[in-house]
Structure 1
Amino acid sequence: MKSSNNDRPQQAGTERLAALVDGEDYFATVRASILRARRRIIIAAWDIHSRIELKRGGRDDGHPRELGALLIHQLERAPELEVFILLWDYAPIYALEREPLFFGHDPWQQHPRQHFCKDSAHPLAASQHQKLVAIDGRIAYCGGFDLGQWRWDTSAHRADDPHRRDPSGEPYPPFHDVQLLVDAEAAGALERLLVERWQSAGGGSALANACAAGPTDEDPWPSGVAPLLRDIPVTIALTVPSYQGRPEVREVEQLYREQIASAQRFLYLENQYLSARTVVAELCRSLRRRQGPEIVLLLPEQTGSWLQQRTMDVMRARRLASLRRADRHGRFKVYCPQVPGLTAGTPMVHAKLLIADDRILRVGSANLSNRSMGLDSECDLSVTARDDAEVSAIAALRHRLLAPWLGLAPAEIGAREQAIQAQGGGLIATIEHLRSQGQAASAPRLAELDGAVDPDWQRQLPDERLVDPDRPLDPAQVTTLLAEDHKATPVRRRLALALGLLGVFLTLAALWRWTPLGAWLDPQALADAAGRLSGTLWGPPLATIGFVIASLAAVPVTLLILASALLFDPLTGILVALTGSTLSAAAGRLLGAWLGRGLLDRLGGSTVSRIAHRLGQRGLLTILTVRIVPVAPFAVLNLVAGVLPLRWRDYLLGTLLGMLPGILALTVFAEGLIAVLGRADPRALALLLVGILALAGLAWVGRRLLKDTRDG
């Protein structure tokens, strides 16, 4: 992979280029290609799921619908076929969202010609984000789609589509994405990219050997898929971070800047995020020009989970504010899709698409985020129209993209647009006119996106260079960024802790992968060990020691208490949690005393200073109060206590009495939760409700005590 400092993005010709809009279209098409494969199928993914159904509804054609079963089926049908799956070795934060590949029970059926490689050959906090499928050296797919759950949807985006369910049968909100299909030289170039990626990830030479035979004679292009464009050069733009001597490639970023600057009439962009500083700066420059293009963005109303909403949505709000300030000539609009009748969530815009003047079409994996510009591995494809026929083809695709949200057929949108253009209007005037025509109450629609977020989220967001970095971060840089603001917010401190824990996870992952420790981590073996632990005399003492060690490592004490309650019977769990909490408090205080008086300055923050003042004035009562309502993390309070003149009797007694009500409440809650999971009868529900009420009542009492200590 070449450096982009001096080189331009690679160009390769394609005889056919097709655009696949939404999951029903893409999944069915890639399934048809898999059934035509004869020599090799190569998949590179950020996420993948063996049980994702590629075909939903319709008649049974005799072939499996689920991805994993389909690949095995085709391996049996084609004796020379090999399958290669390259999957990002994802971060622990995504573990609950992923199918547990290579962890415990492998969900993928084994086959001697099916090969897997988990890609961890990237810097800390980076990801393999390319979404590619290459078949037989003849065709290749590239875009925003992973072959994962929560991606399939029709272009109708109905609120109640019965087929839009994940492998467990749960419904999810509408989902929009785009993928390109190319062949000829472009497909060969993408296959070579996959070979390089496979080798750099440690997959060995098997893929290179399989590709050495070259493209097959048979054409795996699915029948019925009409090309959008023919015989056209394709630009392949990459993002590759610098890593272990590998130079960085920032072609994605540079191509965005060039394409935005070149637009004359309009820019139409669809994306999941909007945080990339360089891209937004280029858009702002375009808006400030007296004569420049209209800019229309289609973004999701919410970017995703609660964590994304409190980070990426905050950065998006800042970028939108910058764009609106730059919009001196009224050429900027941002929309989000809405689907009435949804009971949960909002429609997801996951496409990564740019259309400029109906002359440039760009689709790929790169988000409009900083990390897609220089940290994650990305791949975008772009083509430039050379004549009016190709311009018309790209315009027809744009009309198809807008059609579901405007309630009109693509051809009708094109006709209305021509009429408005004849009167001097542009893309924004067309969209606004069609939005004002009214649609059925249940129909999907476009709404203007305000993008405002809670002001508290704005204040709490850590430095953007930590949340959404545009290049690899080294430990010294992280330390510098965290130290720049001496009034660091609690969120920033939590992020520093998270980065430290991530380093621990990465170290453990290496030990599990390359040492005998990995053999000890079979989930069933762990479950059996936990059962044996809870039934032995040495189990509670060992759990107590683990409790203390985990607490010193800043694991939240609430989680440790819950773990004790879930592992042991109620009485034993209470004793383990209470003993562990008290010993952890003592060990933390001793550690704080050893670190010395400079600890308070290093921890910083007005909250820690106030707590230190209260602890020094009214030790027993304040300790009792802060143990009931933790105004600072358990581990931090213990460290602070180590540098204050507190009597050990007050400290330990306050901890013991203050932790006991919370431990009792959490134990009742845990027992109720276990009972509900096992049998949802009234007694189990009542027990769970008692636990919740106990926790709520404890919080109320604690806050009253906290107010009393403040007033005093």
Structure 2
Amino acid sequence: MKLSSTNALSLVPGRNCWRVEQARRVGICVDGECYFGMLRQSLIKAQRFIAIAAWDIHSQLELVRPAPGDGWPTRLGALLLRLLELRPELEIFILLWDYAPIYALEREPLFFGDAPWQRDAEQRHPRLHFILDDAHPLLASQHQKLAIIDGALAWCGGFDISQWRWDTEAHLADEPRRCDPDGDPYPPFHDLQMLVDGDAAMALLELFAERWERAGGGAPPVLHSVAGAPAEMTSQPAVERRTGSEGSDEAPNNETIDAWPAQLKPLLRDQPIGIARTLPAFNGRPEVRESEQLYLDMIASARELIYIENQYLTSRSVVAALQQRLQQPEGPLILIILPRETGHWLEQHTMDLIRARLLKTLRDQDQYGRLQVYYPDLPALGDECLMVHAKLMIVDDRVLRLGSSNLSNRSMGLDSECDLCLIGDTEAARAEIQRLRRRLLAMFLSTDADSLAAIEADWLSQHKTGNDAREGLRLRPLAPSLDPEWDRQIPDERLIDPDRPLSPDWVGDVVVGDEHQPHARWRALLGVGLVCLFLVFAALWRWTSVGDWIEPRQLAEAARALTHSVWGLPVTLAVFVLASLAAIPVTLLILVATLMFAPLPGALIALLGSCLAAAAGYQIGHFTGAAAAEKYLGGRLGDLRQRLSKRGISTIVVLRIVPVAPFAILNLLAGAIQVRFRDYLIGTLIGMAPAVMAMALFSQGLVELLGRADMRSLALLLGGILIGAGLFWLGRHLLRK
């Protein structure tokens, strides 16, 4: 990606945006109390259709707290059903990311939930259309967050209509209304959402309709008929509805209804809106990286101030762009607000470590003292912290950009994203953008925008973070310490936070590196030889009587039925652990898991099973002692003991890549000699992950090759073999070192 010059930013379709469309009105909701309340008002006014694209959604979310007593339900699922009952012409479309099993415990249960869209097709309301979107590459996600009403209004931003998102702008530590559907409290949460109407809303409807069709939902006539109509036919304001005591809300005399929430004052009017996307390369569709280019162009065009609120800061390209501006003698002040921690333990030891690594790089280049990075601190929270989930960038109080894309690698080229951007070319527009920025900054400092405006210049120049004597929210410098040991153990961040779909060549370049290219010839020969061997077996299976013995696809499909059972995951993990303890090779267990389930779920289940089996074997070895391990290993015990005791996590990673000892035996030995348990599990997770993914590619290719011989299945098979061979060579190289 190329940076533009420091001239004023322009929105250029095909470069940094998809389209530029006019919005009659632009509104901004700060935090969940505003967004969910205004969204509910928009939903209630829907007449023809509601279209929702989400990363997550929860039917039991209380949209307003307390209930306003207007006769309409306050929970999302109940509200949608009521609307369908009262409006015979209304249709509802919900597109939800077909998420990875790792998020299963954070989502509404698939089998015991109350969501009306999770019911069987025959039990679901006939005008409630629901689809799980899996039309994306391995490890990618559908991350766009859209809610579109009749093609007249469209919400876009960082909010999922889900649990753990509702909060007030005050972000109180003891807010009693901030609880999930089970009544359990959760920490404060900050996010933003933009509302547009007119041609901009129609364009977002086209984006949704295309996504719906690509995900397998067909071409719903109501969506395409509205998307093809002139914007003025769907977005002209008209009379307000008459709302009765029983929640009736019908349009008098068939007049068009203005669905804009009455309580939301527009930020701007008659404003061009740039729509930027991230779409990964998939099924012959080229990649789209408009969101990334828009970030780079905004950074390059800044003259005075770059204001950022984001959940992550792990994008290589964005950090490189910021670094370039910091190196210039005359450049903008860069003010970044991030959460203190991005999530639970795993994220803290992956994404947060990558963030710390990149922040150190930025600070090393900040020779002119223009970088300020803060996190919101609320002392009353104790160990918990406020989650900054917003994806906001404001440049020079002139350019406002808000959407779904994080400052992470995956948001630049792997996940599907959608951002909106506007440029204030008038004094009035720039004043409104500045007022919004000051409002947000004042919120983090527990003051008001007017007070902040009076001291803003001094505050920014002196790096003040607020009065520590106050008990409210304040900003503190984010200066995470970078543990050298952890920094050495974390692999290339592109394996944890990839910026493009995984491919054998790309993974090989990242894992093996350019310095190992002289050895590529023998690895390729080995891979070709193994592929030829498997092709022989496949030919025998397909065109001889061997194929009549057993049909792998049928077995795989029968085993995959476990995924539809609530007991599927625990049973699979239990069998995996027990089989490992019985010394069945872990490679075989991983292969079975990836054959039973779809590639990504199977890989994640196999990785989780490997970690659980490692923990179980470790504990057995810990209690039985070294004598038992000696019995199995004989003379190799001393050598392995020496290897394990040398370098902790890094050694475990290498030994997981190169099977110096059987998986089960290594687990026993590690427990027997009391390797640090934390290091052992982390090393197992890091070391097993690439091999498990290679096995997932291999198994998927094998099943497809046996079912139908085509280039895709052959490529998957070859990719899995080459990655596995590359990993094995790399491990042997590291082991010798």
Tell me if both proteins adopt one fold, taking TM over 0.5 as the criterion: yes
Q: The residue matched to 2:135 in structure 1 has which SS?
A: coil
Instruction: Normalising by structure 2, report the TM-score.
Output: 0.69
Residue aligning to 1:18 = 27
- Give matches, 1:568-647, under 5 Å: 615=636, 639-641=659-661
What amino acid maps onto 1:472 in structure 2? P
Change (3 A) 1:267 1:124: same
Cα deviation, residue 322, structure 1: 2.0
| Higher mean C-alpha deviation, range 281-290 or range 472-481 | 472-481
1:107 aligns with 2:139: no
Query: How far did residue 559 of structure 1 move?
Result: 3.3
Match of 1:443 in 2: 472
Question: Are 2:325 and 2:331, in contact at CA under 8 Å, matched by a contact in 1?
Answer: yes
- Pick from 440, 446, 457 the counterpart of residue 401 of structure 1: 440
Instruction: Report matched runs for 1:149-228 at 5 Å.
Output: 149-206=163-220, 209=223, 211-212=225-226, 214=229, 216=234, 217-228=256-267
RMSD: 4.4
Task: Judge conservation of contact 1:297–1:335 (CA < 8 Å) in 2.
Answer: yes
Question: 1:516-595, aligned counterparts within 5 Å?
Answer: 519=561, 521-523=563-565, 548=584, 552-553=588-589, 559=612
Q: CA deviation at 1:245?
A: 1.0
The whole-number CA distance in structure 2 between the counterparts of 1:284 and 1:622 is 43
Aligned equivalent of 1:570: none
Distance 2:328 2:672 in 1: 66
Pick from 461, 483, 493 the counterpart of residue 490 of structure 2: 461
Task: State the alpha-carbon separation in 1 of the partners of residues 489 and 477 from structure 2.
Answer: 26
Name the aligned partner's letter for residue 474 of structure 2: R
Is contact 2:170–2:443 with CA below 8 Å preserved after alignment? yes
Q: Which amino acid aligns with 2:41?
A: A
The whole-number CA distance in structure 1 between the counterparts of 2:471 and 2:269 is 38
| Deviation at residue 62 of structure 1 after TM alignment | 2.2
Q: Is the 8 A contact 2:16 2:291 kept in 1?
A: no
1:50 CA drift (Å): 1.2
Query: Contact 2:615–2:667 (CA<8 Å) still a contact in 1?
Result: no
Give the match for residue 428 of structure 2. Answer: 389
Please name the residue that 2:296 is paired with: 257
Using the TM superposition, give the Cα deviation of residue 382 of structure 1 relative to its aligned residue in structure 2, in angstroms: 0.7
Alignment-mate amino acid for residue 87 of structure 1? L
1:304 matched residue in structure 2:
343
Residue 460 (structure 2) pairs with residue 428 (structure 1): yes
User: Which residue of 61, 67, 70 maps to 1:52?
Assistant: 61
Deviation at 1:519, TM superposition (A): 5.0
Matched-pair contact (CA < 8 Å) for 1:337–1:347: yes
Per the alignment, residue 9 of structure 1 pairs with 18
Cα distance in 1 for partners of 2:14, 2:77 equals 40
Task: Write out per-residue CA displacement over residues 518-563 of structure 1, whole angstroms, 9 at most, x where no aligned residue.
Answer: 5554436769999xxx9xxxx99x9799983667436657735999
Q: Deviations over 1:428-483 (max 9, x none)?
A: 13x845x45x2654211111111323222211111122111211120232234223
Q: Does the Cα contact within 8 Å between 1:48 and 1:87 map onto a contact in 2?
A: yes
Residues 176-232 of structure 1: CA deviation (Å, up to 9, x unaligned): 111100000000000000001111111112266564484642221111110000001
Change (3 A) 1:54 1:632: same
Q: Give how far 1:24 is off.
A: 0.7
Three-state SS of the structure 2 residue aligned to 1:201 is: helix
Q: Is the 8 A contact 1:150 1:165 kept in 2?
A: yes
Q: Does the Cα contact within 8 Å between 2:61 and 2:180 map onto a contact in 1?
A: yes
C-alpha contact 1:287 1:327 (8 A) present in aligned 2: yes
Do residues 339 (structure 1) and 348 (structure 2) align?
no
| Cα separation, 2, equivalents of 1:266 and 1:97 | 37
Structure 1 98/512 Cα, relative in aligned 2: closer, same or farther at 3 Å?
farther
Q: How many angstroms does 1:149 deviate by?
A: 1.4
TM-score, scaled relative to structure 1? 0.71
By how many angstroms is 1:244 displaced? Answer: 1.1
**Residue 308 of structure 2 contacts residue 393 of structure 2 at CA under 8 Å; is this kept in 1?**
yes
For these two proteins, the number of residue pairs brought into alignment is 574
> Are 1:143 and 1:179, in contact at CA under 8 Å, matched by a contact in 2?
yes
Note the alpha carbon deviations across 1:632-691, whole angstroms, 9 max, x for none.
Answer: 599969953479xxxxxxx99x999999999xxxxxxxxxxxxxxxxxxxxxxxxxxxxx
Correspondence list, 1:296-375, <5 A: 296-375=335-414
Which amino acid in 2 is paired with 1:123?
P
Tell me how far apart the structure 2 counterparts of residues 637 and 352 of structure 1 sit (CA, whole Å). 37
Percent sequence identity over aligned pairs: 47
- Aligned residue number for residue 693 of structure 2: none
Moved more, 321-330 or 184-193: 321-330
Q: Is the 8 A contact 1:360 1:383 kept in 2?
A: yes
**C-alpha deviation, 1:374, in angstroms:** 1.1
- How far apart are 1:84 and its partner, in Å? 0.7
SS in 2 for 1:336: strand
Q: Which runs of 5+ in 1 are unaligned?
A: 488-509, 565-573, 590-611, 626-630, 644-650, 663-712
SS in 2 for 1:548: coil
Q: What does the per-residue CA deviation read over 1:242-287, in whole Å, with 9 as the maximum and x for residues that have no partner?
A: 1111111111111111111111111111111111122112112222
Any idea what the Cα deviations from partners look like across 1:382-404, whole Å, max 9, x if unmatched? 11112111111111101111122
Q: Which moved more, 1:386-395 or 1:402-411?
A: 402-411
Deviates more, 1:165-174 or 1:473-482: 473-482
Task: After TM superposition, give the deviation of residue 85 of structure 1 in Å.
Answer: 0.7
* Distance apart, 1:295 and its partner CA: 0.9
